[in-house]
Amino acid sequence: MRAYLRFELRRLVRDPRLTMFTVLGPVVTYLIFSPLAGDDRLEGLDAATALMVGLAGYGAVAGALTVAGSVAQERASGWLHQLRVTPLPPWRVVVAKTLTSMLSGVPAVVAVGLTGVLQHHVTLTAGRWAALLLALWLGTAPFALLGLAIGYALAPHLAQPAVFLVFLALSVLGGLLVPVAYFPDALRHLAHVLPTYRFAELGWRSVDGRAPAPAGLVLLLAWTGVFAVLAAGAYRRSTARR
């Protein structure tokens, strides 16, 4: 598994397109919209900090989900069939892919954080910056697994639009782009059960020096379990069909 993990990490480093996509979008969005929030308080934080965390999470989720396109291409090319005949069990392939996909979002977190410092003079202690980075890295696990499930289940020409629709819906309804404080009551209740909101909540609480909310953590772990089962099942079906 270590050799396969190193192989996947090298592939990730050699693909600059992913970083460009996941970094530029959230940074530009933050530059445009963060001044509009003014002095509002969002999620218990000043607006500039709250939006910084939300858009850092937006980029991290984008990076994790884009794995769907690459695994769909691998499935179409026969690479997954080659993996199937190696001693690697399916769960190790899924774990290695998940770990590398989670790293795809780290540049976005760093870039949006630097933008918050430069544009709005966001000030956090070193410990809270580290806690934010760790929270938003670990919190991408369910989205990496969801991306794998989509990529293993759908053909390349269907995986990309499916990921885009899923990403857009989860980002908007989960409060990564528009704070849930501005939502009507029904949408606010929906947001609180979505993995994207609970993911961003990890970041909001970490920069405020608070521990993760137990209810939010349970929901995020539950979503992770569901997506893990879907990813493993889709992987087995995709290799069995060849």
DSSP state of 130: H
Q: What is the pLDDT averaged over residues 156-169?
A: 90
Domain boundaries, the chain: 2-240
Q: What is the pLDDT of residues 83-97, one digit of tens each?
A: 666 666 666 777 777
Half-sphere exposure of 32 (CA within 13 A, CB side): 8
Q: How far is CA 81 from CA 1, 122, 206, in A?
A: 17, 49, 42
Contact 64, 105 (CB under 8 A): yes
10 vs 122: which has the higher pLDDT: 122
pTM of the model: 0.86
Q: How far is Cα 27 from Cα 104, in angstroms, rounded to an integer?
A: 15
Q: What is the pLDDT averaged over residues 190-217?
A: 94
Q: How far is Cα 152 from Cα 79, in angstroms, rounded to an integer?
A: 12
Q: What is the pLDDT confidence band of residue 66, given thresholds at 50, 70 and 90?
A: confident
Q: What is the pLDDT confidence band of residue 63, given thresholds at 50, 70 and 90?
A: confident
Q: What is the pLDDT averaged over residues 145-154?
A: 90
